[in-house]
């Protein structure tokens, strides 16, 4: 049976709100981090092997595309971390009231921005 799936709701019937947007973002960043685990394994192997493999890997990571990927993954990492803590709080039974959910949602966004900025400031200043 052909039934419409949820994405068809989006532009017309479904009004975007921060709670659902953050939920979708949690899943997207999770997928991004899973893809990033390929780079993590690759980097660990490169450090272990040394020589030309490390040189190639390092050159890729230091290239504009490499830095952009690392930046996006750092955003995904910090977001998924903060949002994950929010989810664990829900699992423990806290923060279900709508005002609380909105507040914790904005807190997650602020913490993500702060951690990302601090991390990259450290990289560029250290």
Partner 1 sequence: MAKSPSLANLTALRDETVLRRVRHFGSARNGLQEWRLQRLTAIALIPLGLYFAASMLRLATSDQVTAAAWLASPVATLLVILFVLAGLAHGLVGLRSVLVDYVHTRAGLLAAELLVRAVVVILGGASVLAVLKLFLGR
Which residues contact partner 1 by CB under 8 A?
A: 27, 30-31, 33-34, 37-38, 40-41, 44-50, 54, 58, 74, 77, 81, 84-85, 87-88, 91-94, 96, 119, 122-123, 126
CA nearest to 83, candidates 70, 69, 75, 71: 75
User: Which is nearer to partner 1, 84 or 102 (by Cβ)?
Assistant: 84
CB of 88 to partner 1, least distance (A): 6
User: Which is nearer to partner 1, 91 or 99 (by Cβ)?
Assistant: 91
CB of 58 to partner 1, least distance (A): 7
CB of 31 to partner 1, least distance (A): 7
Cα torsion angle, 14, 18, 24, 25, sign: positive
Distance CA 69, CA 47 (A): 19
Tokens of 81: 């971390």
Distance CA 120, CA 54 (A): 22
Pair 52, 5: CB distance under 8 Å: no
User: Which is nearer to partner 1, 7 or 11 (by Cβ)?
Assistant: 7
Q: What is the CA radius of gyration of the chain?
A: 19
User: Which is nearer to partner 1, 11 or 50 (by Cβ)?
Assistant: 50
CB of 14 to partner 1, least distance (A): 17
């Amino acid at each position: 049976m052909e039934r419409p799936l949820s994405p068809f709701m989006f532009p017309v019937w479904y009004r975007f709100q921060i709670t659902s947007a953050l939920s979708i973002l949690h899943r997207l960043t999770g997928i991004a981090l899973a893809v990033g685990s390929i780079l993590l394994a690759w980097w660990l192997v490169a450090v272990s092997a040394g020589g030309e493999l490390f040189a190639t890997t390092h050159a890729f990571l230091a290239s504009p595309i490499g830095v952009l990927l690392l930046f996006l993954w750092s955003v995904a990492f910090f977001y998924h971390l903060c949002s994950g803590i929010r989810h664990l709080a829900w699992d423990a039974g806290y923060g279900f009231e709508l005002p609380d959910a909105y507040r914790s949602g904005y807190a997650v966004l602020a913490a993500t921005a702060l951690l990302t900025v601090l991390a990259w400031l450290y990289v560029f200043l250290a």
